[in-house]
Amino acid sequence: MECLALVDEKSPFHSPCRSLSSGAPDTLTRIDTGIRLEFLWNDADIVEVRVSAWNGLFGGSADIYAAIGELSESAQKLKGFPRSPSDKRILEFGAFAPKAAGGAATLSFYCADSAGHASVEIRIESEHRGAISSQSVLLVAAVEPAAVDSFVSDLSRMEADQQGTAFLRTSG
């Protein structure tokens, strides 16, 4: 079996080898499809978090800075979503600006139809680095209310423990 390196080993999207002779991949990714916030570092004022999104074919990540308390505030804002088909919630982390430190992410939660089927749109932008343009990703996926509830719990726990990961499982 030959190995085809798809992305850097340190990337959350690292993919193990695939067989080039059969053409069938052993696996495409080591992470599930969804949105992941991973605690990296903190001091008295801020938390650094890696925000990653992956839909099975396309994804991106950026390291963002959030104020202490912002993760639990976001969890409270999202708690109970969706309450009705017109329910919309937006979580913003970091700043989409060339002079801001770190990257940014916006998670927009909404119902895709009158039956209340929930979706999330995530926009991630990398840090601006001088003359190098930032990179960005925009993904839209369906989410189940139970997955949102689990994500809310994970965000609260991350804030309280100052460590860990919050994961929002997505589909479609």
* Separation CA 142–CA 122 (nearest Å): 11
Regarding pTM above 0.85, the answer is: no
pLDDT-derived band at 2, boundaries 50, 70, 90: very low
Helix axes 70-78, 145-161, angle to 10 degrees: 160
- Token pair belonging to 28: 């495409």
Res. 28: pLDDT tops 80? no
* Separation CA 16–CA 7 (nearest Å): 9
* Separation CA 152–CA 172 (nearest Å): 21
Residues 109, 78: contact at Cβ < 8 Å? yes
pLDDT digits (tens, 9 = 90+) for 126-150: 988 777 778 999 999 999 999 999 9
pLDDT digits (tens, 9 = 90+) for 48-74: 999 999 998 889 999 999 999 999 999
Domains of the chain (ranges, CATH numbers):
1-30 (no CATH), 34-169 (2.30.31)
* Separation CA 34–CA 14 (nearest Å): 15
Residues 113, 72: contact at Cβ < 8 Å? no
- Token pair belonging to 1: 């079996």
* Separation CA 110–CA 91 (nearest Å): 12
Q: What values do phi and psi take at 31, rounded to 5? A: -115, 155
Q: How many residues does the chain have?
A: 172
DSSP-derived pairing of the beta strands 136-142 and 104-111: unpaired
* Separation CA 119–CA 105 (nearest Å): 16
